[in-house]
């Protein structure tokens, strides 16, 4: 096929895609033509056969941070059961639920998918427990604070591709930063006029004020959909996992919640998504009815009391906290020694652009490099690193015997 014919075909495909979005999307949706990037692409979005946010989702899936989802804790760290949720499944569930809501509301599913798949990339080994320990270290060492949603953005914008970042769109990065699935609202309305400068200001504040991330509002309705879908994806699934592990029984779910939402993950998802779609259709915001909202609040309280703070899954807390502390101190010593054969150089820093080290060295915050290294570890790699430092190694057979 001649180049001119190839160009004409791809040009038609791109034009048809823009027409489809104009015709099919809600007037409140974010179209591909609205994509904002810090840097121009080699192939500009307007002439790329892959729509802008579809392209972002591709980059996320092919990132190193995404591959590490496979061995990261969702809720239950110390149970030997292959049928409970890990982080990789959670993000897929968020994506599926959010795309279904988005399709019904005629929103941009490519943007929704990209935000959903990337939203938890910054989660550290051992989930929210690990996040608390890293935040404690940051505060103790005067390194600011740590929150996983900002760290997710950091991997995408600063750490991937050996420190060059992925050049994702503002809309995707903003949706990831603003996802905060621990905060429930009855009404979600986007801040549509957000600029890259405003986003970067919010991003930087997340590293100095632990509570600031709770104040961030997504700039797109698609970002709002992912935010509520994060809750929908984990609330019933965590109950099913807890029942599988015999931490709770289904009968313990409060009766008034069961009557409104149901008592299985499937029923809970259906009740919540149906209510959001019905109350948000053709509106510039998302809305949950009072009845469903009150039931969801009670269910979240039940989960926090009976599952997330259950004493039987907190028995190892002191050991885990010590592991984070030991690894931080060991890697900080390696970093400051300048020994290029040390693990933190060999397995992490040596592959990065020197500007990454200089940024934190100039600020006297080299410890933040250690935080980045640890936060990117899987549970298994974290355990292996700790074992290397603590457990004496064998030197083979005793040749004198």
Domain that holds residue 379: 317-390
In terms of C-beta distances under 8 Å and separation of at least 24 residues, what long-range contacts does 197-201 make, across chains too? Answer: 199/170, 199/173, 199/174
Give residue 89's pLDDT.
86
Task: Please report whether residue 9 resides in a domain.
Answer: no
pLDDT at 88: 82
The answer to whether residue 250 sits within a structural domain is: yes
* Residue 369 sits in the same domain as residue 298: no
Six token digits for residue 287: 């809305």
The tokens for 21 are 């979005």
Query: Do 379 and 231 share a structural domain?
Result: no
331 & 356 share domain: yes
How far is the C-alpha of 21 from the C-alpha of 35, rounded, in Å? 13
If asked whether residues 177 and 326 sit together in one domain, one would say no
Look at residue 342 and tell me if it is in a domain.
yes
Final residue in a domain of this structure, among 313, 336, 361 = 313
Is position 7 within any domain?
A: no
Please report where in the chains the tokens 């996992």 appear, as a residue: 241
201 and 268 assigned to the same domain: yes
Q: What is the pLDDT of residues 313-368, one digit of tens each?
A: 666 788 889 999 999 999 999 999 999 999 999 999 999 989 999 999 999 999 99
140 in the same domain as 37: yes
Sign of the CA dihedral 291, 292, 293, 299? positive
User: What's the start-to-end Cα distance of the chain, in Å?
Assistant: 75
Same domain, 307 and 329: no
pLDDT at residue 82, rounded to an integer: 57
**The two structure tokens encoding residue 342:** 């040390």
Tokens of 398: 């005793």
Residue 283: inside a domain: yes
- Low-confidence spans in the chain with pLDDT less than 70: 1-3, 7, 73-85, 181, 313-315, 392-401
Residue 14 lies in a domain: no
Residue 337: what pLDDT? Answer: 95
| Total residues found in the chain within this entry | 401
Question: Helices marked H in 245-264 — which ranges?
Answer: 255-261
What is the rounded CA–CA span in Å between residue 346 and residue 340? 7
Instruction: Check: CB of residue 73 under 8 Å from CB of residue 127.
Output: yes
**pLDDT value of residue 315:** 67
Take residue 67 and report the two structure tokens written for it: 């591959």
Question: 121 near 110, Cβ under 8 Å?
Answer: no
HEC sequence for 66-87: HHHHHHCECCCCCCCCCCCCEH
* Residue 394 confidence (pLDDT): 61
Query: 392: alpha, beta or left, given left = phi > 0 and alpha = psi -120 to 50?
Result: beta
Regarding whether 31 and 154 lie in a shared domain, the answer is: yes
In a shared domain, residues 252 and 344: no
Q: How many separate domains does the chain show?
A: 2
| Residues 205 and 351 placed together within one structural domain of the fold | no
Q: 297, 313, 329: which is the final residue of a domain?
A: 313
Give the DSSP H or E segment for 187.
Answer: strand 187-188
Res 314: pLDDT: 67
Where is the domain boundary, 282, 313, 344? 313
Tell me how many degrees the CA angle 152-157-162 measures, rounded to the nearest 5.
105
User: Who contacts 101 (Cβ-Cβ below 8 Å, separation ≥6)?
Assistant: 107, 225, 228, 229, 273, 276, 277
pLDDT at residue number 78: 52
What's the pLDDT at 202? Answer: 97
Model pTM score: 0.94
In-domain check, residue 10: no
In which residue are the tokens 């064998």 written?
394
Give the pLDDT score at 212. 93
Residue 322 lies inside a defined structural domain of this protein:
yes
Same structural domain, 156 and 97? yes
340 with 206, same domain? no
Q: In this predicted structure, what is the pLDDT of residue 308?
A: 85
Closest to 148 measured CA to CA, from 389, 400, 381, 376: 376
CATH number assigned to the domain comprising residue 84: 1.10.3210.10
């Amino acid at each position: 096929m001649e180049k001119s014919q190839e160009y004409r075909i791809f040009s038609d495909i791109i034009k048809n895609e823009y027409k489809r979005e104009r015709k099919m999307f809600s007037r409140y949706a974010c179209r591909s033509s609205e994509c904002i990037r810090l840097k121009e692409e080699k192939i500009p979005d307007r002439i790329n056969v892959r729509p802008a946010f579809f392209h972002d989702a591709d980059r996320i899936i092919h990132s190193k941070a995404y591959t590490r989802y496979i061995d990261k804790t969702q809720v239950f760290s110390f149970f030997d059961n292959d049928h409970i949720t890990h982080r990789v499944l959670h993000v897929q569930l968020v994506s599926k639920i959010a795309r279904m809501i988005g399709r019904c509301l005629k929103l941009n599913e490519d943007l929704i998918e990209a935000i959903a798949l990337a939203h938890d990339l910054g989660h550290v080994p051992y989930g929210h427990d690990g996040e608390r320990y890293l935040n404690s270290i940051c505060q103790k060492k005067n390194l600011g604070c740590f929150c996983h949603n900002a760290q997710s953005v950091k991997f995408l914008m600063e750490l991937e591709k050996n420190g060059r970042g992925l050049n994702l769109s503002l809309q995707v990065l903003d949706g990831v930063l603003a996802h905060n699935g621990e905060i429930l609202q009855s009404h979600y309305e986007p801040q549509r006029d957000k600029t890259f400068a405003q986003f970067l200001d919010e991003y930087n504040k997340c590293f100095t004020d632990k509570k600031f991330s709770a104040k961030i509002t997504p700039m797109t309705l698609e970002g709002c959909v992912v935010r509520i879908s994060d809750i929908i994806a984990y609330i019933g699934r965590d109950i099913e996992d807890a029942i599988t592990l015999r931490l709770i029984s289904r009968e313990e779910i409060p009766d008034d919640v069961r009557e409104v939402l149901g008592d299985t993950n499937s029923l809970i998802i259906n009740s919540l998504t149906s209510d959001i779609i019905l109350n948000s259709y053709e509106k510039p915001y998302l809305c949950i009815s009072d009845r469903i909202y009150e039931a969801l609040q009670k269910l979240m309280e039940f989960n926090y009391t009976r599952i997330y703070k259950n004493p039987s899954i907190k028995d190892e807390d002191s050991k885990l906290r010590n592991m984070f502390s030991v690894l931080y101190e060991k890697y900080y010593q390696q970093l400051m020694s300048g020994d290029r054969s040390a693990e933190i150089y060999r397995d992490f820093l040596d592959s990065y652009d020197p500007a990454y080290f200089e940024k934190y060295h100039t600020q006297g915050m080299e410890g933040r490099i250690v935080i980045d290294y640890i936060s990117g570890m899987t549970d298994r790699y974290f355990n292996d690193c700790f074992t290397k430092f603590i457990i004496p190694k064998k030197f083979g057979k005793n040749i004198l015997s």
